[in-house]
Amino acid sequence: MNTPNTMLSPELSPESLKKIDREVAKYPADQKQSAVMAALVIAQDEKGWLPKETIAAVATYLGMAPMAAYEVASFYNMYDLHPVGKYKITVCTNLPCALSGGVHAADYVKQKLGIDFNETTPDGMVTLKEGECMGACGDAPVMLVNNKRMCSFMLPEQIDKLLAECK
């Protein structure tokens, strides 16, 4: 954790660092820490998940304590602190979604893939997660793929199509 900046920053690719710089520029010069949420997402996108060393590298790059970055990474639900499959499917099962089949959609995916929530298929392709409100209740059932792609009206036919894409 005390390794100097230059030793740790190569952990992230130059492309990722460039993206992080763009985030840092949004905030006052003495408030680089504000970019940590976006920076951790950029790091997660590059690595697939967030090993402690990567979190520390992000912290060092932003001039903050590694523990402060770890606090952020462990507080917000969509950071993956453990490896996940190539595709992470998060199903909203909250009440408004459940009224329109959110829980049943999750059951359907579990049955198709033979895994439960927080499990990954044996081939390492798909991880299934239970999600909280995604703010898209009118499109229920909804699923998020790899945190960023929102899939709406996920009835059996649409789920079959999505799972066929996860190769």
Partner 1 sequence: MALIDTINPLLTTGWAKGDAGWSLKDYEARGGYKQLRRVLESKMSQDDLIAEVKKSVLRGRGGAGFPTGLKWSFMPKAAPVKYVVCNTDEGEPGTFKDRDLMRFDPHSVIEGMIIAGYAVGAKAGYNYIHGEIFETYERFEEALDQARAAGYLGDNILGSGFSFDLFAHHGWGAYICGEETGLLESIEGKKGQPRFKPPFPANFGLYGKPTTINNTETFAAIPFILGMGGEAYLNLGKPNNGGTKLFSVSGHVNRPGNFEVPMGTPFSKLLEMAGGMRGGRKLKAVIPGGSSAPVLPGDVIMDCTMDYDSIAKAGSMLGSGAVIVMDETVCMVKALERLSYFYYEESCGQCTPCREGSGWLYRVVHRIEHGEGRPEDLDLLNRVTDNMMGKTICALADAAAFPVRSFIKHFQSEFEYHIENKKCLVDPEVQRMGSGFFKAGAA
Candidates 11-19, 35-43, 46-54, 113-121; binding stretch for partner 1 (CB under 8 A): 35-43
Candidates 4-12, 62-70, 81-89, 116-124; binding stretch for partner 1 (CB under 8 A): 62-70
Q: Does 79 bind partner 1 (CB under 8 A)?
A: yes
Q: What angle, 0 to 180 degrees and rounded to 10, lies between the N-to-C axes of helices 14-24 and 36-47?
A: 160
Torsion, Cα 108 135 162 75, to 10 degrees, reads -80
Task: Confirm if 116 and 128 have CB atoms less than 8 A apart.
Answer: yes
CB 78 → partner 1: shortest distance, Å? 4
Candidates 10-18, 81-89, 112-120, 147-155; binding stretch for partner 1 (CB under 8 A): 147-155
Return the percent helix, strand and coil in the chain, to nearest 5.
Answer: 50, 10, 35
Q: Does 84 bind partner 1 (CB under 8 A)?
A: no
Q: Does 96 bind partner 1 (CB under 8 A)?
A: yes
Rounded CA gap, 83 and 86, in Å? Answer: 9
- Of the two residues 103 and 125, which places its CB atom closer to partner 1 in the complex? 103
